[in-house]
Amino acid sequence: MITSLRGVNLTGAGWAYDSDVTPISGTNYEWVSHQDIDYLASKGVAFVRLLFSWEILQPGLNAALDATYEATMHDRVSYATSQGMHVMIEPHGGDFPKFARYKGEAVGSAAVPHGAFADLWARLAQLYKDDSQVIFGLMNEPNSISTVQWFAAAQAAIDAIRSTGATNLIMVPGNGFSQPGTWHRTYYDTAVPRVSNATAWQVLRDPLDSLVVSVHTYFDSDGGGNGIDIVHPNIIGQRLRPVVDWARARGLKVHLSEFGASSANPGAQAAVANAIAYMDANADVIIGWAWWAYGPPDWWGSYQFTLCPTGNYTIDDPKMAWLAPHFAAPAAPEFAARHTVRPRRSYWPLVTVSVSLLMLTALVGGVRRKR
């Protein structure tokens, strides 16, 4: 059973790809330690979103995974699940504009085709399919691409995961940085006609009906988390409402996989409390949230939204007191598998993607661009 998916983002192991740099552990990236996981477990954290670098994990498209990086990642996943946590693993570009890219090329492009994205997720599914506490987050914040292109890539990954026999929960973001407040808008689509996330989601198919909408938003003016300003005490609820109402009408679930605030803003504590209260009140749809961020304290301790402790793990960041009472409740609904997983195949499901694209074309043929 999946319980409350409330917790934190574990960052540090991601990396902003640079063709002139060979990434080195401790220099260009750093995994959280067992001590970090122990600390979070002691605070009641039941969910972590563990971010990794696609380029480091898989140095070449369709190639074998890097043994050293994968072993460390697997160790952290296994250790966290041994502490009772659910762990979402997700590729992260390290920094904008490298989200939803591989070596600078967009997912679903000619340079990074659907089959290559499917290959990554098939390999990961094989590694983690026997652990129901592991959740697959397909990608961090797709942006500046065709919405159809992104959802076709997502479908390829879903099919590849299920073809291994994996029944793990899958979280799928939308285009436009997966902002919930713009779920019905189209300005973020680079193709013509422009398509909203709400429309494009209709082509996704999962034989287990175990897909969750993963969204990100913050309290600042553009919702991106670059500033510490809070535009309204209830801004998170206001931004979540469009996707929550849409999901409820379709029997879907939503996870707020990134949000965060700074204790330097005197209104932050109240705004965070309001955000959590909104999500509690809509727990029939919102199955959890993850604070941004927690990383190795010597790297992330000074970050504006950090949850890292000081004093050799003896002094909590002030924001931990805002969140700790809410990590365990309310419980999220169980996802029950309702269909049989398709048998494993030796080819990637490009036919499914093509059919989905045809369906989407029919859906959006009459859509007009918004101003």
Active site residues: 141, 258
Contacts of 76 (CB under 8 A, 6+ apart): 10, 31, 32, 37, 50
The partner residues of 89 in beta bridges, in order of sequence, read 50, 136
Name the one residue in this structure whose structure tokens are 């296994």.
78
CA distance 160 to 154: 10
8 Å CB contact between 139 and 175: no
Cα 45–chain centre separation: 17
CA distance 98 to 55: 11
- Lookup: tokens for 291: 């604070």
C-alpha neighbours within 13 Å on the C-beta side of residue 199: 22
CA distance 25 to 335: 37
> 97 preceded by cis ω (within 30°)?
yes
CA distance 157 to 121: 6
Mark 36-70 as b/e (b = at least 16 C-beta within 10 Å).
Answer: bbebbbebbbbbbbbbbbbbbbbeebeeebbeebb
